């Protein structure tokens, strides 16, 4: 069983505008309101891949009630933890370029974190800690949850202080993007040096460090001591929301099938790309087809 934890769930209000004119009234051609958050997205993709997954989701207020309603209607296996305030709404504007305004969300109190930690039994095969916790939540929250998960393989997609504390738990996987890698080291890292810094982050405590580079693909500092680079397949960007989460799910799915580091990297890149090239999350068949167009090399 795979558990995902989403401390900062959201409703994503997605609006498509033919041409966004800043400072003027714009009318959406299409819109939708979708329950999301990084941990929720990872769970949706893993479920689409046919893997057993349960999402632990913190919700609050009327927004949280709608998140719960949507996920329950989809038939997802979820445990909800209600707090005070209101869950966030993220605005996603899809036009000539993508523009996002993400809400802050409510801080998660210690007692809720303890309730989640207590619910992580029996220990899962995987624990996915995805997305930064909202302001007001203790910075060591992911380290605490990782410690509560027993012998689970822990995957972390976070940044800043929460990533630093999570590394102390020696996770199986961390997945920063290039900006988050730069923030971690406090340096302006060029894409061609991402592999070097990924290896340094691996030495700081993670078994595998997967750095997503958008249209440039990704690099993996793997547990086998090697560093791999993967190209991204060409395609038309439709929706980047959830692409990084799909990459995390793809890496986990490949590991579950016994793939080595290079194949896990190529499946992760194919998963992220398949998400970016479509309206919704990818199917397993879509990713397998796209994986044939991903090349991996050792660097």
Going by C-alpha positions, the residue among 103, 126, 121 that lies closest to residue 39 is 126
Which of 125, 245, 263, 286 is the catalytic position? 245
The values of phi and psi at residue 10, to 5°, are -155, 160
* CA trace torsion 117, 120, 124, 129 (10° rounding): -40
The per-residue DSSP string of 103-124 comes to ---PPPPHHHHHHHHHHS-SPP
E strand or H helix at 141, and its extent? helix 141-148
Q: Residues of 226-261 as b/e, b for ≥16 C-beta within 10 angstroms?
A: ebbbbbbbeeeeebbbbbbbbbbbbbbbbbbeeeeb
The 3-state DSSP class for residue 176 equals coil
N residues, the chain: 299
96 in active site:
no
Question: What span, in angstroms and rounded, lies between the C-alpha atoms of 211 and 41?
Answer: 18
Diameter of the chain measured on Cα atoms: 54
> What is the sign, positive or negative, of the torsion defined by CA atoms of 149, 150, 154, 159?
positive
Question: What span, in angstroms and rounded, lies between the C-alpha atoms of 36 and 12?
Answer: 6
CA distances, 105 to each of 11, 83, 126, 128, 177 (Å) = 11, 11, 26, 20, 22
Catalytically active residues are 245
């Amino acid at each position: 069983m795979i558990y995902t934890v989403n401390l900062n769930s959201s409703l994503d209000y997605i609006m498509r505008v033919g041409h966004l004119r800043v400072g003027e009234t714009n009318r959406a051609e299409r819109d939708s309101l979708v329950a999301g958050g990084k941990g929720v997205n990872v769970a949706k993709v893993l479920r689409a891949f046919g893997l057993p997954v349960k999402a632990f989701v913190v919700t609050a207020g009327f927004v949280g009630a709608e998140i719960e309603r949507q996920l329950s209607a989809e038939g997802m296996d979820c445990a909800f933890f209600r707090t005070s305030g209101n869950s966030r709404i993220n605005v996603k504007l899809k036009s000539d370029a993508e523009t996002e305004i993400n809400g802050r969300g409510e801080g998660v109190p210690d007692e809720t974190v303890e309730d989640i930690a207590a619910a992580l039994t029996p220990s899962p095969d995987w624990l996915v800690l995805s997305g930064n916790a909202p302001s007001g939540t203790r910075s060591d929250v992911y380290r605490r949850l990782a410690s509560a998960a027993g012998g689970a393989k822990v995957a972390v997609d976070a940044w800043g202080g929460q990533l630093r504390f999570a590394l102390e738990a020696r996770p199986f996987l961390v997945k920063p993007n290039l900006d988050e890698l730069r923030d971690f080291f406090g340096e302006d890292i060029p894409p061609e040096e991402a592999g070097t810094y990924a290896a340094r982050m691996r030495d700081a405590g993670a078994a595998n460090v997967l750095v997503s580079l958008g249209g440039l693909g990704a690099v993996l500092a793997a547990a086998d001591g090697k560093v791999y680079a993967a190209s991204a397949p060409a395609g038309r960007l439709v929706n980047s929301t959830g692409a990084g989460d799909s990459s995390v799910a793809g890496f986990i799915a490949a590991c579950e099938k016994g793939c080595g580091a290079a194949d896990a990297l190529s499946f992760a890149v194919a998963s992220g790309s398949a998400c970016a090239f479509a309206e919704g999350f990818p199917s397993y068949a879509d990713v397998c087809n796209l994986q044939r167009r991903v090349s991996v090399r050792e660097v």
